[in-house]
Amino acid sequence: MAMQLDHVVPFGRLFEEYRTMFTLTPADLQGSILSVADGPAGFNAQGTSLGYSIQSVDPLYGFTAPEIKQRFDAVVDNIMAQIANSPDDWVWGFHKSPRELRHNRERAMEWFCRDFDQGKAAGRYAVGELPRLAYPDNSYDLGLCSHFLFLYSQQFDRTFHINSIRDMLRVCQEVRIFPLLTLGSQPSPHLKFVIENLTNLGYRCEVQTVAYELQRNGNKMLSITSP
């Protein structure tokens, strides 16, 4: 049974999930990173504690940490119930069970909430959204987009996708997007269009298999580098 969601939900991932699903190397982590549509992830908080330079941007950051946590609490039971009712759609590798998955989402939220006020004051969490980012050209080495582009293909059309990715490429030297499946665990109908469009513009697009898999067959990442 396909996951049913009417809007983007405030689920965040841990630093180690980002490292695995984006195959982040030590060299990658030493550069400047822009994490787009980052939501209540632990990536910025944990990465900053390790000394890395991470900027997160999301419209969600217009809310307070307690308000974001409240939105998480309002949807988590429903999402976990849908996962429990579709056991064939999930791979229990990184997360060993639905119970551990929920625990890790709660851990990510805890990291985020503890860090949010301090990080927002420091400018590490900024309000903003695709398809247009408020950053100068070539501001960052690496741009990441976790669980937004391609995942919400039904909610956002291919024009939104290509405009969003091109603007990320304006700002970042390289862009990585994960996963390439929709909420229904099907390959995104926008992926071929995006790759063809960007290839024609001179960008190098590569679909890479990664070590992270939660959605079954959802172990692919798109890497795009500037010409």
The pLDDT value recorded for residue 7 is: 55
Evaluate whether 120 touches 61 at the Cβ level (below 8 Å): yes
Average pLDDT, the chain: 94
CB 188, CB 150: distance < 8 Å: yes
Supply the pTM of this predicted model: 0.94
pLDDT score at 8: 65
* pLDDT less than 50: residues of the chain: 1-6
Q: Are 180 and 151 in contact (CB under 8 A)?
A: no
Number of DSSP helices (H) and strands (E) in the chain, helices first? 7, 7
- Residue 9: the pLDDT is 72
Whole-angstrom distance, CA of residue 4 vs CA of residue 225:
33
Residues 6+ away with beta carbon under 8 Å from 197: 162
What is the reported pLDDT for 88? Answer: 86
- Identify the structural domains of the chain with CATH numbers, from first to last: 15-225 (3.40.50.150)
Over residues 7-37, the pLDDT tens digits come to 567 889 999 999 999 999 999 999 999 999 9
